[in-house]
Amino acid sequence: MWLAWLIGIVTALSAYYIIAARRKFEYWQKKGVPGPRPWPLVGVFVQTMKMGQGFYDLWAIKKFGRMFGYFDGSQPVIAVSDPDMLRSIMVKDFPQFINRRDVDINGPLLEQAVSVLHGQKWKDVRSTLVPTFTSGRLKQMNGLINECCDNLVSNLEKKADADEEFECQSLFRSVTMDVIASTFFGTKIDSQNDSKNEFTKNAVEAFDFSSFNPVLIIFFLFPWAMPLAKKLGLQIISKKNLDFFVDNTKEIIRMRSESKVVRKDFIQLMLRSMNAPDKNEKKPVETTTEVQDADDSQGSDIISHNLSVGSGQRNPVSLLITNLLSISGSLRQSFSFLAGFETSATALTFLTYCLAVEQTIQDKLRQSIEEVMQDLEEPTFESIAQMHYLDACVNEALRMDSKSPKEPSSASRFYAIQRDEEFWPNPDVYDPERFSYENKQNIKPYTFNTFGQGPRNCIGMRFAYYEIKMVMVHILRNFRILPSAKTEIPLQLKDTGFMAPKNGAWVKLQRL
Ligand code: HEM
């Protein structure tokens, strides 16, 4: 008897899911939008997991065109990789696309982070944070970044002397982690030499979305179970990891407040605002002149010649002073900055790999860097801004490694468009000349979107360019990057939301 019941239930459920899948397919069909036929229950989840989102897009675009409809689990999504439509989504009709998809799995602390906020709340927080990334703020961070790069150079000297080949991605993860910890969390760590330190361990665990994450599975496949999952305290980043950063930030703020130590980092900026007498009359509290209120919002964008349009990153520094600044406020925001360690590390990995394989480009780049550096011992903000060929090399590496942000009902496909032969002839060839002063003018707008475009683009873009360039200048001034026995040509890629080397990017170094 029970067997009959079981068979009945399984049959009924299967029938339900098959009918639901057909309805989903019809949803896009009725709207005249082409797209893949979804599987019952999972949509195209299995295919995108298997192939990776970027490769899946390349396949789907060939089959259905630059706009296709599909289902992410139970959610209808339009994938767009047409430059004119992207312009509408990211800039022209931005008010209708202001919010990212409401994933609602962030937990109480992170649901207020700038990357997930909606509407007016997002606008308020974003305009508050924008001044953190002005040229003046970045200049102040120069010493902290140089310090991490010097540590990198002395570690690399050991590898060069031992003729040791090494994997770039894990090395650069620790470098960018050290930089973010120092500039945003006010914490000096040395994950290059001590990969087991608590800060690195918690950050890596927090942002490891590649492994089996039960919350993501529930969200995509059984969205109706989310309220229960939330009641049970499930969230995408575990409470244990978050608590570490809460305690760490609280402790630093307490120590800073008590000792009056001044450091040129994000926490100091927050502290300054928190300590100001009231909302309308906020002033720096330091008596030292060490941290200067360098509002250069009128200054030229000297970090990069990126093709970003309307980034909205020129608000006056006074906007920084709002009521959001509390301990948990600064933590929430600096935590969303922490995510930048992985993307910057990936960009550095691609760049290093490409330079190892393309020795002529590497020579030209080193020479162009030396022409700017001359007698300078360490790169400064101003010298980095004059390194135009470096800018082109970084942009070309970024073109080849890209992720796509998810919008509420449409997903902009950056990887696909940046590898589209119509816009980028020989898309798999690393050719920085595409971004030379002369050629840049010919790039079709909205075909290079590594940092997104418009008001919701990457808020950390200028910081990322600065950090990547600083690290590369330090490396190229001290070493020649060489391919090693394990260097794959061409590089095999895996797609975990953004592209990464499948088997690692291996190189070795020679001291200059
Ligand atoms: C090479 C490095 C990086 C790449 C390729 C990258 C790329 C992106 C992209 C594509 C977006 C979504 C834009 C959109 O929706 O149109 C984004 C958003 C964001 N990025 Fe980055 N990013 C990088 C580094 C960083 C760094 C270093 C930080 C922090 C210091 C950062 C902080 C953020 C934040 C907070 C957002 C959300 C902004 C908002 O919703 O208003 N990113 N990034």
CA of 461 to the centre of ligand 1 (A): 6
pLDDT tens digit sequence for 462-472: 999 999 999 99
Element (DSSP H or E) covering residue 348? helix 340-357
Which residue's CA is the nearest one to ligand 1's atom 1?
344
Distance 442 CA to ligand 1 centre (A): 25
Q: Tens of pLDDT along 218-252?
A: 776 676 777 777 777 777 677 788 788 777 777 77
Count CB-CB contacts under 10 A for residue 360: 7
pLDDT digits (tens, 9 = 90+) for 344-364: 999 999 999 999 999 999 999
Q: Above 80 in pLDDT, residue 163? A: yes
Classified by CATH at the fold level, domain 119-511 comes out as: Cytochrome p450 (1.10.630)
Of all residues in the chain, the percent with pLDDT exceeding 90 is: 32
Quote the ligand 1 centre to 39 CA distance (angstroms). 32
* Residues 134 and 296: beta-carbon distance below 8 Å: yes
State the residue for tokens 């100091």: 268
**Is 458 annotated for ligand binding?**
yes
185-191 contact pairs (CB < 8 A, 24+): 185/245, 185/248, 185/249, 185/252, 185/265, 185/266, 185/267, 185/334, 185/338, 186/252, 186/256, 186/263, 186/265, 186/266, 186/267, 186/268, 187/248, 187/252, 190/151
Q: Please list the residue range(s) of the chain that carry CATH number 1.10.630.10.
A: 119-511
Atom 16, ligand 1: residue with shortest CA distance:
452
Q: pLDDT band for position 77 (50/70/90)?
A: confident
Residue with tokens 């600044």: 325
pLDDT band at 273 (very low <50, low <70, confident <90, very high): low
Confidence of residue 28 (pLDDT cuts 50, 70, 90): confident
User: What pLDDT shows up at residue 150?
Assistant: 95
498: nearest Cα among 404, 382, 418, 395: 404
Which atom of ligand 1 sits closest to the CA of residue 184?
30
Cα(26) to centroid of ligand 1, in Å? 35
**Amino acid identity for residue 252 in this structure:** I
Report field, pTM of the whole predicted structure over 0.75: yes
Q: Show the tokens assigned to 70.
A: 């599909």
Q: Are the CB atoms for 381 and 142 separated by under 8 Å?
A: yes
**CB contact burial 131-142 (16+ within 10 A = b; e otherwise):** bbbbbbbbbbbb
Atom of ligand 1 nearest to the CA of 404: 10
Report the mean per-residue pLDDT for the chain: 79
What are 366-406's pLDDT values in tens digits? Answer: 999 999 999 899 999 999 999 999 999 999 999 987 654 44
Instruction: Identify which of 403, 451, 453, 468 to mutate to test ligand 1's pocket (most ligand atoms within 8 A of the CB).
Output: 451
Q: Looking at residue 294, what is its pLDDT?
A: 36
Kindly give the distance from the C-alpha atom of residue 258 to the centroid of ligand 1, in angstroms, as a whole number: 33
Q: CB under 6 Å to ligand 1: residues?
A: 90, 114-115, 126, 336-337, 340, 343-344, 347, 403, 405, 450-452, 456-460, 463-464
